[in-house]
């Protein structure tokens, strides 16, 4: 018990755990020290949280409305991304229309996603499906083409020069696939 009494002024001053009684057992003393350190760690994490989240919150998404010139069914946009730039190109289309999007870039880390406005669920994810989309839109309304650099490239503050080609056609129609198993001779498929 003499050691606990001897350490009391030092522990109180350095750890802020409060008064140390001479009759206090070593287990109680260690529990107080452990609790004080955990509390300090939690407070430090809470104070640093806004600092760590600030870049993500400050990251804005630039939005641009796309319109086609009279008499045309498409548009070609040239732009440049730097670092964490994200651009949303918004255009209106009807469900059942065919949309074709191509992204040409000098940076292989630049991609686009296609999603309905207000819905983060994309119907095309460029980083997994490539920089070409040719499909039928499932619903009418505003559609968002989000152009971005993947996270690693954005963190390295890379740049990408982009050419985005967007075309919307009439109602999509499917052409039945030819049955190549028959060849020219016809007959049953074996």
pLDDT tens, N- to C-terminus, the chain (190 residues) = 455 555 555 555 555 555 555 565 677 656 676 676 766 666 555 555 544 333 333 357 999 999 998 989 999 999 999 999 999 999 999 999 999 999 999 999 999 999 999 888 999 999 999 999 999 999 999 999 999 999 999 999 999 999 999 999 865 444 444 444 555 555 555 5
The DSSP-derived string for 114-161 is EEETT----SEEHHHH-SEEEEE-SS-EEEEEEEEE-HHHHHTT-EEE
188 falls within a domain: no
Q: Which of 143, 83, 140 is nearest to 117 (CA)?
A: 143
Residues 41 and 68 in one domain: no
* Same domain, residue pair 37 and 90: no
Residue 153 and residue 94 share a domain: yes
CA angle (113 as vertex; 111, 114 as ends), nearest 5: 145
Residue 71 sits in the same domain as residue 42: no
Number of domains in the chain: 2
Domain shared by 54 and 104, yes or no: no
Which helix (H) or strand (E) segment is 171 a member of?
strand 159-171
Residue 179 belongs to some domain of the structure: no
Which CATH number fits the domain that encloses residue 115?
2.60.120.380
103 in Cβ contact with 110 (< 8 Å): yes
Residues 19 and 94 in one domain: no
From the number of C-beta atoms within 10 Å of its C-beta (0-12, 13-18, 19+), residue 116 rates as middle
> 98 in a domain, yes or no?
yes
Number of CB atoms found within 10 A of residue 79's CB: 15
Domain holding 13, by residue range, is 2-58
* The pLDDT of residue 65: 96
Answer whether 165's CB lies under 8 Å from 66's CB: no
pLDDT at 22: 58
Give yes or no for a contact between 112 and 151, defined as CB atoms under 8 angstroms apart: no
pLDDT at 52: 37
Are both 83 and 150 inside the same structural domain? Answer: yes
């Amino acid at each position: 018990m003499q050691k606990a009494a001897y350490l009391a002024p030092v522990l109180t001053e350095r750890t802020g755990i409060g008064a140390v009684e001479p009759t206090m057992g070593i287990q109680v003393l260690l529990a107080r020290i452990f609790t004080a350190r955990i509390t300090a760690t939690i407070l430090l994490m809470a104070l640093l949280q806004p600092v760590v989240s600030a870049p993500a919150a400050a990251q804005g998404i630039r939005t641009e409305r796309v319109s086609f010139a009279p008499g045309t069914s498409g548009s070609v946009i040239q732009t440049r991304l730097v670092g964490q730039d994200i651009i949303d190109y918004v255009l209106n289309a009807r469900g059942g229309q065919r949309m074709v999007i191509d992204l040409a870039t000098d940076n292989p880390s630049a991609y686009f996603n296609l999603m309905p406005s207000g819905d983060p669920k994309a119907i095309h994810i460029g980083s997994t499906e490539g920089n070409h989309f040719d499909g039928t839109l499932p619903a009418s309304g505003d559609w968002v083409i989000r152009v971005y650099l993947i996270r690693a490239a954005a963190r390295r503050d890379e740049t990408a020069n982009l050419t985005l080609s967007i075309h919307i056609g009439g109602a999509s129609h499917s052409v039945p696939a030819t049955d190549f198993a028959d060849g020219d001779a016809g007959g049953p498929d074996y």
